[in-house]
């Protein structure tokens, strides 16, 4: 009996510790007016993106769901708002990114928020031959942001929010491998494409770091976000046995998408954070990142290489 009680106490202690650290929750307190403003959310048809879209739509924003799956987008649009629309975007295709931007710029007069939310953990290649995680999580968003920046500057006061992850801490960018193989890691095993995922999330932080420098002198700002450890479709491509292991833990500890959207919403709605442009946020607060995630030379090189890969240079 004593041993069972001891185990129960230990498990309870571990649960409390985890919910106050790794699985900590936060609540967005920002309340900036959104009526009349236009928002693009990539992957806005499910998970964190959907929760973010619903919140901003309820505040009166015009929300563009930029995603692949029309059916899921149609379900997400059932918000009661008539100002939520779907526009097809496949981040695994640079042609699709350009087509989306062209359509948006022709039909929408303003852009106040660009939320680079979509992401995946998977193996494979994009339409252009890049590693799927590098291509979708970083390169597609890099091109999209650059194509829309002038509209954001013209609108004024806009924000670019890019979802990264605490996994960026374990990332590394091998530029030689990127140029030679068009990826930052690949492989059939889950640990291999999880490592590639970490690398792509480091790209998100470095991209935001460099973007903030390029936005100086304008009133457009940018932020990278760790949403928390959230129950989403991010790991839909992992193996069955891993899902069997992960799902019970996920339902017990992971944040739901609404909780996972809070830091994104903070960066979208909190007034007065403009001096923190380029920073990394977690739990609705700016957080310090390791030296390799704020390396000016690596961030600049990543930008220049990404420009060439996208055909912007």
Catalytic residue among 86, 130, 189, 197: 197
Contacts of 210 (CB under 8 A, 6+ apart): 299, 300, 302, 303
Q: Is 293 helix (H, G, I), strand (E, B) or coil?
A: helix
Q: Distance from first CA to last CA of the chain, Å, rounded?
A: 69
Residue with tokens 């500057």: 153
Residue with tokens 């801490």: 169
Strand partners, 65: 41, 86
Q: In angstroms, rounded to a whole number, what is the distance separating the alpha carbons of residues 234 and 127?
A: 20
Asked if residue 230 lies in contact with residue 257, where contact means CB atoms within 8 angstroms, the answer is: yes
Distance of CA 86 to CAs 73, 121, 189, 190, 226, Å? 6, 24, 34, 32, 25
Asked if residue 290 lies in contact with residue 169, where contact means CB atoms within 8 angstroms, the answer is: yes
Asked if residue 212 lies in contact with residue 206, where contact means CB atoms within 8 angstroms, the answer is: no
Strand partners, 116: 162
Catalytic, 223? Answer no
In terms of phi and psi (left: phi > 0; alpha: psi -120 to 50; beta: otherwise), the region of 60 is: left
H runs (alpha helix) in the chain: 2-20, 47-58, 70-77, 94-107, 132-133, 140-155, 175-181, 190-214, 240-253, 257-260, 262-269, 296-310
Q: Is 299 helix (H, G, I), strand (E, B) or coil?
A: helix
Q: In angstroms, rounded to a whole number, what is the distance separating the alpha carbons of residues 197 and 201?
A: 6
Residues marked as catalytic: 197
């Amino acid at each position: 009996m004593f041993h069972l009680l001891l185990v129960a106490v230990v498990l309870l202690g571990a649960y409390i510790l985890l919910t106050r650290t790794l699985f900590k929750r936060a609540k967005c307190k920002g309340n900036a007016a959104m009526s009349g403003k236009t928002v693009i959310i990539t992957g806005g048809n499910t998970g964190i993106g959907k929760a973010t879209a619903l919140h901003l739509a309820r505040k009166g924003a015009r929300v563009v769901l930029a995603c692949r799956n029309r059916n899921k987008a149609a379900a997400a649009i059932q918000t009661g708002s008539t100002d939520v629309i779907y526009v097809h975007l496949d981040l695994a295709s640079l042609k699709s990114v350009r087509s989306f931007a062209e359509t948006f710029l022709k039909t929408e007069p303003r852009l106040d928020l660009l939320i680079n939310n979509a992401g995946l953990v998977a193996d494979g290649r994009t339409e252009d031959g890049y590693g799927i995680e590098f291509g979708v999580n970083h390169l597609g968003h890099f091109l999209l942001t650059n194509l829309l920046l002038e509209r954001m500057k013209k609108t004024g006061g806009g924000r670019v929010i890019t979802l990264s992850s605490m996994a960026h801490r374990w990332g590394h960018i091998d530029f030689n491998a990127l140029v030679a193989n068009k990826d930052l890691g690949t492989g059939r095993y889950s640990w291999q494409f999880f490592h590639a995922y970490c690398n792509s999330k480091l790209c998100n932080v470095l991209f935001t770091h460099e973007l903030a420098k390029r936005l100086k002198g304008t009133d457009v700002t940018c932020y990278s976000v760790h949403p928390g450890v959230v129950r989403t479709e991010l790991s839909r491509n992992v193996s069955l046995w891993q899902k069997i292991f992960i799902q019970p833990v996920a339902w017990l500890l992971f944040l739901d998408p609404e909780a996972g959207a809070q830091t994104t919403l903070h960066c979208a709605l909190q007034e007065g954070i403009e001096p923190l442009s380029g920073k990394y946020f977690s739990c609705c607060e700016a957080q310090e990142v390791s030296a390799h995630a704020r390396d000016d030379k690596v961030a600049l090189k990543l930008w220049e290489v990404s420009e060439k890969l996208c055909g912007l240079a």
